[in-house]
Structure 1
């Protein structure tokens, strides 16, 4: 099997990587608890590798799509978190930790893997990369601010710690990756095929390490069925809201609708897991863990439905 074939097969396996990481993390449990600090390093590696695909010229070109960018960022950081909070209050009125967990899920930066799904469904790659980068650079301010404004005051939050973590996990690796891309574009293009498997390995390691740190405090049961249903509602809400606005209200062309839907609808749940296990109680992390199990698989189903050939 050559490298291109291997990468193509591993791309198809993305929906199963995160659930497998959760299972392995729960199985290993306290045996790897001493490695929890490595989670931030592995996540920074994911961000760095993703940024090696982004050039400054691509960002400048995509920045001209002001309407598209503004719509996605407004939905991702204002409309969706507000609606998610209202739904979580209705579903879990006596569980402020669950409510905070869903607010964290809806306010975390755009998922780097949304670029992969954008390319699979023939979206505008430059717009997706620009949205990921912009949201990444703004995340140390937007994510803690959203949580501060929407989370229940009874939940203790370390805002400074979250901001520092987001800078080291996302912002600095993104800038470094773009600088490397600018200095050695040919080398970055050649290395991309070899780094693709590394990204997936790092993603699994992040999940394993941080789920393992929760294994002693979590016990899954039928009590969590409402959390599963709520997660499905949150994922569907993000997708359909942006899809409908982009396609039927502002009438974007198909490639832009694809990019906007995946970037606006997908959250960097691995980053949410790092923050949840570092700065929140285990019950706040539970919606995040369940979200990891569901997001990639459900996104694949939604994307296939919304962007099927006969749907346009």
Structure 2
């Protein structure tokens, strides 16, 4: 029940909430600073999956956990990334733009790339398949449509959205937290094994994602604030979308534990990174 009903509803609410915070001018950076936007998208959509692939191959994870982590790597655009960009003194406008753009793209890219990983990692006789059309349709329903509805509400009722911004953002995140708690409870007996198998890979991947995003952005000569934003956007993944694919569409609890663990453990390097940035900022002041 948690995955089949509560998770899609929760993800719908999260994406609707994101839509209520978006207005047309949030996309102005595509025209004003296209290079920063392209670097951010490339880092999330290309750099992170490559980093994940290398890490997972080196750690030699079991195939189903391997697939779970890769589906997570194909699911950028975590809704909390905007908050972390703000806390890290990044470019919040760039963060919002990147989150919005990748949310429009991932319903197409997730089934396309994830199906290839499933075919590669799992035995050809496996019954686990990810049908492209139905997966794309389900992701559109729980991501694109609620974002569009949220933007419509923001357009016609801006005062309502701004007045209730905290309520609109916090309730869906609390719902997602409850879903994750429910998943953990359902798999409580297996959690020690899952933590042993996925804890270290999740921490390594989250840490390297931050570093790779920042390093790539600086290598491409983005300014410091934009580089911080790209780092955070690369490290913060949309765990809700990944869990929807692994737990509801593929109906595979083993795959699901990878995005669940990443969604929890990615906060450790992210908060550490923000704390370091703020301490450095204070020392320089």
TM-score class normalised by the smaller sequence: 0.7 to 0.9
The question of 1:237 aligning with 2:208 is answered yes
RMSD of the alignment, in Å? 2.4
Deviates more, 1:184-193 or 1:128-137: 184-193
Q: TM-score, normalised by structure 1?
A: 0.80
TM-score of the two chains, using structure 2 as the length reference: 0.87
Contact 1:239 1:261 in 2 (8 A): yes
Stretches of structure 1 that go unaligned for 5 or more consecutive residues are: 1-32
Give 2:261's match in structure 1, choosing from 283, 286, 290: 290
- SS of the equivalent of 1:303 reads helix
- Number of residue pairs the alignment of both structures matches: 276
Aligned match of 2:274: 303
Task: Specify the alignment match of 1:61 in structure 2.
Answer: 29
Offset at 1:274? Answer: 2.1
| Number of the residue aligned with 1:192 | 165
Whether the aligned pair in 1 keeps the contact of 2:198 and 2:261 (CA below 8 Å) is: yes
* 1:164 matched to 2:114: no
Q: Say which is worse superposed, 197-206 or 98-107, in terms of deviation.
A: 197-206
Query: 76, 89, 93: which one pairs with 1:126?
Result: 93
Q: How does 1:250-265 map to 2 (within 5 A)?
A: 250-265=220-235
Aligned partner of residue 251 in structure 1, secondary structure:
coil
Equivalent residue number for residue 20 of structure 1? none
Query: Given the superposition, is the C-alpha separation of residues 35 and 271 from structure 1 closer, same or farther in structure 2, using an over 3 Å criterion?
Result: closer
Confirm or deny: 8 A CA contact 1:39 1:210 kept in the other structure.
no
Output the CA distance in 2 between the equivalents of 1:102 and 1:235. Answer: 11
Structure 2 counterpart of 1:150: 117
Contact 2:51 2:209 in 1 (8 A): no
How far the C-alpha of 1:116 sits from its partner, in A, is 0.8
- Cα distance, 1:266 vs structure 2: 0.9
Q: Equivalent residue for 1:5?
A: none
Matched ranges for 1:1-312 at <5 A: 33=1, 36-92=4-60, 95-151=62-118, 152-154=121-123, 156-159=128-131, 160-212=133-185, 214-215=186-187, 219-221=190-192, 224-247=195-218, 249-278=219-248, 279-306=250-277, 308-309=280-281, 310=283
Q: Tell me how far 1:84 sits from its aligned partner.
A: 1.4
Q: Which residue does the alignment assign to 1:17?
A: none
- In 2: Cα distance, 1:184 partner to 1:197 partner: 19
- Is 1:210–1:277's contact at 8 Å kept on the other side of the alignment? no
Looking at structure 1, the residues matched to 214 and 102 of structure 2 have their Cα atoms a distance apart, in angstroms, of 19
